[in-house]
Structure 1
Amino acid sequence: MTPEPVQPVDGLAEPAAVIPLVNIANLLTVTRLVLVPVFLLALFAEGGESSTWQLIAFTVFALASITDHVDGRLARKFGLVTDFGKIADPIADKALVGAALVGLSLLGELPWWVTVVIAVRELGVTLLRFWVIRYGVIPASRGGKAKTLAQIVAIGLFLLPLPAAFDPLCWAVMAVALVLTVVTGLDYVYRAVRLRATARRALPGTG
């Protein structure tokens, strides 16, 4: 006999659907992490002086950057948001951008102060997230998304074996990325402090 479907008991909520840890969004995030060492190998191949390997490094970086957009979109569209994804996604983003910046600085293609400014901002924002996590989550702003896009485009230009005539363009885009990096970092500090202060005022006995 075919078993009858189990009917929910009146007054009891149906159990929430369990989101599988292994899903397309998380797989893309893990793929981005795996591509980081592949990217570095291509970047430093033949001392970083081979145009062919530079193009390969750019291609790997571009593919990894695309997964950053796709995995988040898929997670939201199909309800695949998991705790693992919330933690691994920003780690993968910072690992990719950080590896590219450090790699370019080691090769002498990018001044170290640029790498330090961006790294300090990203580390500071990460620490702020932990500082206010008990009070809430600060959503990504449009400025933050623009910052990420500007960083990726700027890094991509520095990765390409472009003629010296393109240097002004590369630096113009990097300047935009740096300005957005600093401005959005300060904005995040302001929003974190405001969130913490608002949440603490709402707690009993702290108003």
Structure 2
Amino acid sequence: MNLPNKLTVGRMIAVPFFVAAFMLQYYMIAFIIFIAASFTDLLDGKIARARGLVTNFGKIMDPLADKILVYSALCLLIGEGTIPAWSLIVILAREFAVSGMRTVAASEGRVVAAGMSGKIKTVLQMLAVPTLILALTFDSVYVLMTIGMALFWASLAATIYSGCEYIIKNKDVFSM
């Protein structure tokens, strides 16, 4: 297994530790784990492209590892009453729609590539989550919650936009 794939696997292994730390209200530890895991996402892609180590495993598992990390965090933030539950339904609906389109396209030998708006969505989510975790850590610092929620709402808007963009740009997938 190459280094980028090891980093992806490491990110997946980090998720239960992140969840446990969060649930035990060790928010600072959860924050550190989330930041470290998010950093591996940035690192594994750069290394894979720079060294020509892109693999099918990485193509599948890297975005899956990101989703497991971020959506676990969003579930936990819902449990804390930080974000509304309906927002996760919107996020998951977009993910299922895009994944379904990619599956249908792949069955026809076509690739539906990730767009910039989807990448922006992911970056906003990976900024919103740790900011909201810090806000829970330092609940007297109102500005952290305000910034975290602004990032979260921006990520939700980017989620909706990118989902619509994928559907519009790839509407021919529905007629295959």
Per the alignment, residue 98 of structure 1 pairs with 71
Q: Indicate conservation of the 8 Å contact 1:138/1:191, yes or no.
A: no
CA distance in 2, matches of 1:176, 1:76: 29
| Cα distance, 1:105 vs structure 2 | 0.8
- Tell me by how many angstroms 1:191 deviates: 2.2
Q: Is the 1:136–1:195 Cα contact (8 Å) retained in structure 2? A: no
- In structure 2, the partner of 1:84 is 57
User: How many Å separate the matches in 2 of 1:188 and 1:104?
Assistant: 27
Structure-1-length-normalised TM-score: 0.77
What amino acid is aligned across from residue 147 of structure 1 in structure 2? K
Q: In structure 2, what is the equivalent of residue 120 of structure 1?
A: 93
Query: What letter corresponds to residue 152 of structure 2 in structure 1?
Result: M
For 1:74-103, what per-residue CA distance to the aligned partner results, in whole angstroms no more than 9, with x for missing partners?
A: 111111111111111111111011100011
**Larger Rg over CA atoms:** 1
Q: Point out the more displaced range, 75-84 or 163-172.
A: 163-172
Q: Does residue 137 of the first structure (1) align with residue 105 of the second (2)?
A: no
Separation in structure 1 between the aligned mates of residue 123 and residue 148 of structure 2, nearest angstrom: 14
Unpaired runs of at least 5, structure 1: 1-21, 201-207
Which residue of structure 1 aligns with residue 157 of structure 2?
Answer: 179
User: Scaled by the length of structure 2, what TM-score is found?
Assistant: 0.90
What SS is found at the alignment partner of 2:170? helix
RMSD, matched Cα: 1.6
Q: 1:203 aligns to what?
A: none
- Cα distance change on mapping 1:69 and 1:37 into 2, 3 Å: same
- Give the number of aligned pairs: 171
State the shift of 1:123 in Å.
Answer: 2.2
Q: CA deviation at 1:194?
A: 3.4
Amino acid aligned to 2:2: N
User: Would you say the 8 A contact 1:29–1:71 is kept in 2?
Assistant: yes
Larger helix proportion of the pair? 2
Equivalent residue letter for 2:132:
F
User: How far apart in 1 are the matches of 2:157 and 2:143?
Assistant: 23
Paired residue type of 1:151: Q
Structure 2 CA distance for aligned equivalents of residues 147 and 24 of structure 1: 26
Residue by residue over 1:8-35, the C-alpha shift from the partner in whole angstroms, topping out at 9 and shown as x without a partner, is xxxxxxxxxxxxxx10010001001000
Superposition map of 1:1-207 within 5 A: 22-45=1-24, 48=25, 53-133=26-106, 134-160=108-134, 161-162=137-138, 163-194=141-172
Q: Structure 2 unaligned segments of length 5 or more: list them.
A: none
Letter in structure 2 aligned against 1:125? V
Equivalent position amino acid for 2:157 in 1 = V
Task: Provide the residue aligned with 1:10 in structure 2.
Answer: none
